[in-house]
Structure 1
């Protein structure tokens, strides 16, 4: 074959040209490359596709954000199929609402945007004493998040526009007392009933299966008695700890870093102060301001004369209810914690005991006394050496990790039959592990506790060809690859080994059948001759006491037609047996206290509005021809 290719090189070139060229004509080179890069569409909204790559990128962003907010959150929850599918559903929802905005020509006026920004916590935090926005800090803060003011304001405008789509339903729900009362009274209604239980456990002693029956059940249900597939594996991980091992720091770099960062390393300066406040409402007449300032000047002269009396003067005269009882003490604070005029005055004081002139802020007039200060002073090099070494090592490790990540990914792919080359090249440790299964073992840690990595380990390539998995990112600055060294497929365990389990299953199944048959027979007999029924005392059945009876029994009793009481109902409890329920009468609901009734009405309104909103959203999905090409995980379907 290869000889033919070498001898007929020209022919092969033309053949390849004829095969490949039509695809470029039909799709275009750029479209072809984009398709290859982004992967197949996992969903489509209004003619626009969501690709596998779009989905993966969005889920990675959400996982990273969640890990930053909750570092102790179990990684398994974030990497589960249900969590990933939830990300896709949110992406689809955003696209549907965007399509509704575009087709409905919905816009957000500059005035509406301005009102929203005025209420925004970020903008409020950055306001100057005169009420204007500190644009320099605003721009810096957004830049740290990779945004410009224009980008941020456009995102807020977009959010307001999409909010309009469902806002008409969410904001127009009004409580209607009559239907709410009917629904709530029905939900909280009570029934008086007698419940006869035919429990599976009570019939187990009557079941004596033969060995022949047990073997027949074993053969028919072999999958129930399988030993799970397992494998002996080995894996390598690239992380900051592994790349840090080879980092050596020299003395000159440490001292240079100290000189450049001495103030920062010494800790942020904090000051402790006490104050006396003579408050003036914002916008008060000038006469009121002058009067308050005169009072403050009078108190200033008093404490200047006798600084030791500051606390007593504050207790008697300060109009700050939070600090006056403590003699005006405000505890330690750093820059940015206080209103700007107050902060400037407090940080301008030179030494403990210094008292400021009268300072005006939005709250009124302050007299400030500096009582303590800490931080903001350089510490000796030797004292900071461990911190400097840790910071420099981390910075160099981050840089080295970024360089090593590409080599790691390429290495496990290019030499896919062994992890040793990449381990030797990057000085990584190969970790062997026997008896690994598709699901994390109890107490598992590290990569073998990660479902995503285990799924890759048991993928077709890894199982059949013993290839390395691709380099998988399982956490911030953590990449792992593994391979199977020995694979044992799932096998049905010998009958002799599982005979006790087989018998347990057969007995449980037969006992449930006996309970069901007797329950059904009693139901028919008692319906015909109610006086012969042997039932336990009546109980009150209500959804509020769900733990006292099986849910199926409660729902069956409450759904019985009130016009046809007494009613006889049979309830199949599955593996738990059977129940016969005689519903005697309806018990009216106790009138709830006024506050509880109000809360229930509000809950009813929220539920009703939520149902209407969901129905409208589903209609939008249909209108914009929304399709999701990925099956919903079974666990999510069950929920």
Structure 2
């Protein structure tokens, strides 16, 4: 037997090469193609590339941010091509400004970073009663968004540096007084407008179209009478909820969590205190510190003479906006909740006792301990449902990365079906029909509107080979893989099937043209001879701030019409599907002279807008300097 192998070694080697090389080439090229598609540059800034993967990730973050801030918004609008293009433009702008900030040696200081963080209302809401940031809640908030504090703060620093590039230009812009007066006059100008509208519906009944006209219109607009391209797909989604559903915490894990996070912490001693705070600014001079301390000693003497007045003095003298209105009360807290000097003083007091003056990073405190308690631990059985949910969530977070790797490998290695990945990870294989613009059916899964999914479906490789897509990363720790089951290309619909739609479209087009022609004829007649009063609607005073119900196109035309003396201007406006309008435009009454405060505010606002314009012009110059270009259509 072995002699046969030895004697025919060359033949066997050739056979193995014939079997191995084609499969290697096939799978290797497929893997390379997938990698190439994801790493394809969509823009460049200098020699630095922005890949499609970066673009997809940035747009996904932007969609999640906007969806969270506007719960009722239609996600289809956020995921459209215009929205994706805007995200790419922002990415390019960020790269340009980052390069400029680096060249200019612009950095954000720790103080500037802290001030910026506290401007965020979400982060500002995490402050404790003593004014310090609740670090644990801050880190939990960021962890839920997939970031560490270091990553988030590095991003904020980079953003501050980028903003500083154009901010200096905007802040230094000076708008000449004459330009400000001219711009204000134009912006607040009012004009008397008397409109006459010419609607397509008034002309539709007179439109006659022949069969030849219909056939010619159909042939000319053939691409507008096509069936939408569709694909039947199957897809699976891996998310933390799916991972958690397969996890059953053990009894030991539940009791360990209870002991460490419920029993021990709930039994820890808690104290309730009130304080009077006198603020001491960082870097205060010796004289300033002496003045504040003298005031604190005076208040301390008063509360020691009459401890019952502590709440009254806290309301009138404390400079802590969070607790002063409550008589200085800070509610219950345990160790680790307050800054160390404050905590040490509180836990050294007896109930009812008043401290000496305690200095912290916020200023000088006078503290009264009002109560002490050591709560009973919540029974394990009562806390069990809550503990089980939390332990399952934590275990799922830890296991998600492992399952995500398995998911990616399974959908790639067994690329002709999603069933093995679904079976191995306890997932459900869903089926749906999608078009290039989204799912078919109003009740479809919102995931089917994800641009990344639609791009994975409607590409030549997916439609032709009908293999699993690579794992697609979505927002909120979600992975998705999709496979095309059937593809129906877009086809031209037969003329007989769309004849009524063609007739309606052609009649509408000609009715619009007839309305516009009637408006032009009326304008020519009325500019030479004053029309009857009934031909025009009642004049209204229109400005750029008050359209008085006129369409935007009509307002723009009225405000840009050239007026000579007291003679009116006659303007024709194309209103698109709404037909046309003829406007008689006259000068309106002059604007009332603004008072000094309003005039100052107007000039400041105009100067701000002027500065923004100069900043945008500077940004345009920077894009040219750093050779920024967008490579996709």
Find the counterpart in structure 2 of residue 403 from structure 1.
402
Q: Deviations over 1:183-241 (max 9, x none)?
A: 12112212234322212122122224455544543444344343323333322222223
TM-score (norm 2): 0.76
* Secondary structure at the counterpart of residue 172 of structure 2: coil
Contact 2:192 2:541 in 1 (8 A): yes
CA distance in 2, matches of 1:114, 1:231: 53
TM-score, structure 1 length as denominator?
0.76
2:469 partner SS:
coil
Q: Which residue of 2 aligns with 1:320?
A: 318
CA 1:374/1:432 → structure 2, altered by over 3 Å: closer, same or farther? farther
Is 2:458 aligned against 1:454?
no
After the TM superposition, which residues 412-431 of structure 1 pair with which residues of structure 2 at under 5 Å, given as runs? 412-431=411-430
Superposed counterparts of 1:617-636, under 5 Å: 617-631=619-633
The count of corresponding residues between Structure 1 and Structure 2 is 588
Cα distance change on mapping 1:586 and 1:70 into 2, 3 Å = closer
Q: Deviations over 1:379-424 (max 9, x none)?
A: 3322332233223222332333322222222222232222222222
Mapping for residues 295-374 of structure 1, pairs under 5 Å: 296-297=300-301, 299-300=303-304, 302-303=306-307, 310=308, 314-315=311-312, 319-320=317-318, 326-332=326-332, 340-349=340-349, 353-361=351-359, 363-364=363-364, 366-371=366-371
Q: Return closer, same or farther for 1:48/1:278 CA change in 2, 3 Å cut-off.
A: closer
Q: Give, in whole Å, the separation in 2 of the partners of 1:471 and 1:272.
A: 53
Shift of 1:370: 2.1
Question: 2:14 is matched with which residue: 6, 31, 43?
Answer: 6
Aligned match of 2:552: 551
Question: Shift in Å at residue 182 of structure 1?
Answer: 0.7
Q: Contact conserved, 1:519 with 1:579, CA < 8 A, in 2?
A: yes
Gaps in structure 1 of 5+ consecutive residues: 17-31, 128-132, 304-309, 632-639
User: Which residue is equivalent to 1:237?
Assistant: 237
Q: Distance in 2 between matches of 1:334 and 1:78?
A: 45
What is the 5 A alignment of 1:132-531? 156=157, 162=162, 165-210=165-210, 213-263=213-263, 266=266, 271-275=271-275, 283-284=287-288, 289=293, 292-293=296-297, 296-297=300-301, 299-300=303-304, 302-303=306-307, 310=308, 314-315=311-312, 319-320=317-318, 326-332=326-332, 340-349=340-349, 353-361=351-359, 363-364=363-364, 366-371=366-371, 378-434=377-433, 438-440=437-439, 441-493=441-493, 495=495, 497-530=497-530
Which shows bigger deviation, 44-53 or 401-410? 44-53
CA distance in 1, matches of 2:501, 2:46: 54
For residue 19 of structure 1, what is the aligned residue in structure 2? Answer: none
CA–CA separation in structure 2 for the residues paired with 1:199 and 1:302? 83
Q: Secondary structure at the match of 2:317?
A: coil
Partner of 2:5: none
Query: Cα gap change, 1:341/1:591 in structure 2, threshold over 3 Å: closer, same or farther?
Result: same
**RMSD (CA atoms):** 4.7
Select between 504-513 and 604-613 the one with higher mean Cα deviation.
504-513
Q: Specify whether residues 340 and 79 from structure 1 end up closer, same or farther in structure 2 by C-alpha distance, changes over 3 A only.
A: farther
Q: Deviations over 1:427-460 (max 9, x none)?
A: 3222233576641443433422433323322332
Moved more, 206-215 or 423-432: 206-215
CA distance in 2, matches of 1:291, 1:428: 67
CA shift at 1:583, angstroms?
A: 2.7
Q: Partner of 1:23 in structure 2?
A: none
Segment of structure 1 superposing worse, 42-51 or 613-622: 42-51
| 1:492-525 residue CA offsets vs partner (Å, 9 max, x unmatched) | 4455554443333222222112212222222223
CA offset digits 1:31-63 (Å, max 9, x no partner): x99x96983433233333334445455556666
> Where does residue 20 of structure 1 map in the other structure?
none
CA contact (8 A) 2:273 2:367 kept: no
Q: Name which of structure 1's ranges 495-504 and 315-324 shifts more when overlaid on structure 2.
A: 315-324
2:39 matches 1:39: yes
What residue is the counterpart of 1:636 in the other structure?
A: none
Q: State the shift of 1:153 in Å.
A: 8.5
Q: Alpha-carbon deviation of 1:171?
A: 2.0
Alpha-carbon distance in 1 for matches of 2:55, 2:475: 18
Rounded to whole Å, the distance in 2 between the matches of 1:437 and 1:580 is 41
